[in-house]
Amino acid sequence: MPANLATLEGSPTYHRDVAPILERRCIKCHHEGGIGPFALTDYEQARAMAPVITVETGARRMPPWGAHDTHECVPPLPWREDERMSDEEIMTLRRWDLGGAPEGDSKDSPPADLVSTQSLELDATAIDIAPRAAYLPTSSSLDEFRCFVFDAPEIESGAHISAIHVVPGNRRIVHHVTVFTDRSGALAKRAGPDGSFDCPPGSLDRALPGEEVAPQNATILAWAPGGKPLRLPDGVAIEIAPKSKIVMEVHYSTGARSIEPDLTRLQFSLAATKPKYLVGVWGVGNFGSPLENGDGLQPGENDRDGVVEFRIPAQAESHAETMVATFTHGGALPLFGLRPHAHLAGVEIKVDVLRNGATQCMLQDSWDFHWQRIYTYEAAPEHLPMLYPGDRVRIRCSYNNTMMNRRLAQELRERGLRPMDIFGGPDTLSEMCLADLLLLVKTPE
């Protein structure tokens, strides 16, 4: 390419052509103090990283977005807040880099300081709550589950949440966060003076010895690395029942890392008016065996001795586990979005709806544990795809259990380990195959 490409009429310059793309696609993460490893908020910063920008956007690794149309999957609707760059945007960045990354005229630059409007946190009007004190995970456990009970006067008499987000305090050790409500008050009684308690898997949905009342939990959000604020469209909200307590379960994965305190926060905004629809979450997957009706864990290629099992063999570069569940709700419900989930060995998650011999792919996600998100459809509730009683939801999770899987390899190296057989479970080096389906229910009159 000619060295004087940038001088040709119409060739890209930073202020006129590149800055608007960076503002739309990159600045929300790549600003001072953001989760991006470097800032891209001015010309000098962008010019220094121009070759990296070209490579990463050209390979479509950045901006991070896993939901793609493939030969196997064409989702029924476009996605809200689709992060993917257009071919034109990618080519503009490439031409700018190869043309010497010229600055151009600052008068052509877009309005400054869009970071606040594109922030990964909710705005200043949101309610922001945090544990009473920072928590220091114990050094004796590689995986620790800690629950924090929040007192939020704003929801004491019931509320409708229109936006919600988890802000991790120590990103190096926060594996994931689940936020739910407990209407029974049982979990609040487990908390110590600091408002927190140990909550190992399986302990939150049952009464413990000595407890007379079992928790009544309802999940309202699941967050993992890469998660962004869930902003619901007008007329849609998450319901908080009166007298409910908000509980935040944090999974800490310390590995071989140094132990440092964490103060993870929860942000939410309240709907100004009563919504027409409420969001409900149906979690599908994580079956350990087949069910009598044919649902559950499906037979796999590496099952041993004819026994269906969730096992990803060591050194398996391409292994899949499949889960099926039948929708048994009393009526049809709109499907608003999906949140796929796996751990470090995961590389792809595909969700299908099976109905009357036909298959509709709802999502195919090129899974990356560090960039998890909730995918929601761009459509009014009345135009969303429907789930009908008797529909079967199928989830296929693909895994790479080798040192060629960079996410898994990094964790194994930190712990001084090599690939081993992986089984289902909640710990970081176990695996999951799960999709939360976000369904809409009409608000009772």
Instruction: Judge if 292 and 271 occupy the same domain.
Output: no
Quick check: is 281 in a domain? no
CB distance 347 to 405 below 8 Å: yes
Picking from 89, 93, 114, the residue whose alpha carbon sits closest to that of residue 49 is 93
In a domain, 365, yes or no: yes
Q: Which residues does residue 222 pair with via DSSP β-bridges, in sequence order?
A: 178
Find the mean pLDDT for residues 244-263: 85
Residues 45 and 133 in one domain: no
pLDDT at position 233 over 50? yes
Residue that has been written with the tokens 């202020």 in this structure: 15
**Of 215, 243, 275, which one is at a domain's C-terminal end?**
275
Please give the average per-residue pLDDT across 416-425, as a whole number.
Answer: 96
* Residue at 282 is within a domain: no
Give yes or no: residues 238 and 197 share one domain.
yes
Of the two residues 371 and 120, the one the predictor is more confident about is 371
DSSP 185-247: SHHHHH--TTSEEE--TTSSSSPPTT-SS---EEEEEEE-TT---EEPPTTEEEEE-TT-EEE
The amino acid at 434? L
CA–CA separation, 64 and 57 (whole Å): 9
Tell which wins on pLDDT, 432 or 9: 432
- In a domain, residue 182? The reply is yes
Does residue 440 belong to any structural domain of this protein?
no
Report the greatest alpha carbon distance in the chain.
79
Average pLDDT over residues 82-105: 94
Question: What percent of the chain stands above pLDDT 70?
Answer: 94
- Residue where one domain finishes, among candidates 221, 252, 275: 275
- Asked if 154 and 84 sit in the same domain, the reply is no
What would the two tokens of residue 115 be?
Answer: 């970071």
Range with the lowest mean pLDDT among 16-20, 201-205, 350-354?
201-205
Quickly state the pLDDT bin for 119 (edges 50, 70, 90): low
Task: Say whether pLDDT at 3 is over 70.
Answer: no
257: pLDDT confidence band, cut at 50, 70 and 90? low
Q: Which residues, 6+ apart, have CB-to-CB distance to 2 below 8 Å?
A: none
Residues 264 and 246: their CA atoms lie apart, in Å, by: 14
Whether residue 294 sits in one domain with residue 266 = no
Same domain for 301 and 423, yes or no, is: yes
**Is 320 part of a structural domain of the chain?**
yes
- The residues, ordered by sequence, that sit 6+ positions from 163 with a Cβ below 8 Å of its Cβ are 122, 126, 229, 230, 231, 232, 267, 268, 269
Do 267 and 303 lie in one domain? The reply is: no
- The least confident of 93-97, 114-118, 183-187, 287-291 is 114-118
- Residue 220: give the domain boundaries: 127-275
Q: What pLDDT does residue 7 have? A: 44
Assigned token pair, 90: 């990618």
Range with lowest mean pLDDT among 42-56, 99-113, 145-159, 353-367: 99-113
Number of domains in the chain: 3
Question: Residue 388: inside a domain, yes or no?
Answer: yes
Q: Which pLDDT value is given to residue 340?
A: 96
Q: State the CATH number of the domain containing residue 187.
A: 2.60.120.310
**370 pLDDT more than 80:** yes
| Same-domain pairing of 171 and 240 | yes
Under the banding of pLDDT at 50, 70 and 90, the label for residue 114 is very low
Confidence of residue 222 (pLDDT cuts 50, 70, 90): confident
354 and 304 together in one domain: yes
At 276, phi and psi to the nearest 5? -85, -30
d(CA 299, CA 313): 15
**Does any domain span residue 143?**
yes
Mean pLDDT of 208-229: 85
In terms of Cβ atoms closer than 10 Å to its own Cβ (0-12, 13-18, 19+), residue 30 is buried
* Element spanning 150, H or E: strand 143-150
Q: Are residues 183 and 238 in the same domain?
A: yes
**Is there a cis peptide before residue 299, judged by omega within 30 degrees of 0?**
no
Predicted local distance difference test score (pLDDT) of residue 11: 84
pLDDT at 175: 87
Hey, is 43 helix, strand or coil?
helix
Q: What are phi and psi of 240, to 5 degrees?
A: -115, 115
The helix/strand count (H/E) of the chain reads as 6, 22
Q: Is the pLDDT of residue 345 over 90?
A: yes
- CA 431-432-438 angle, 5° bins: 160
Q: What is the average pLDDT across 329-346?
A: 96
CATH code of the domain in which 410 resides: 2.60.120.230
Last residue of a domain, one of 247, 275, 303: 275
Q: CA nearest 183: which of 249, 127, 240?
A: 240
Confidence of residue 366 (pLDDT cuts 50, 70, 90): very high
Q: Which residues contact 137 (CB under 8 A, 6 or more apart)?
A: 144, 146, 173, 252, 254, 259, 262
Half-sphere exposure of 397 (CA within 13 A, CB side): 30
Question: 15-70, pLDDT tens digit by residue?
Answer: 999 999 998 889 888 888 777 889 999 999 999 999 999 999 999 889 989 999 99
Angle between helix 87-98 and 50-58 (nearest 10):
150
How many whole angstroms separate alpha carbon 349 and alpha carbon 398?
Answer: 6
Q: How would you label 50-74 residue by residue, b for 16+ Cβ within 10 Å and e otherwise?
A: beebbebbeeeebbbbbbeeeeebe
Is the pLDDT score of 352 beyond 50?
yes
**What's the mean per-residue pLDDT of the chain?**
90
Environment class of residue 202 by beta-carbon count within 10 Å: exposed (0-12), middle (13-18) or buried (19+)? Answer: exposed
Is there a contact between 335 and 324 (Cβ–Cβ < 8 Å)?
no
Q: Are residues 217 and 134 in the same domain?
A: yes
Residues 267 and 291 in one domain: no
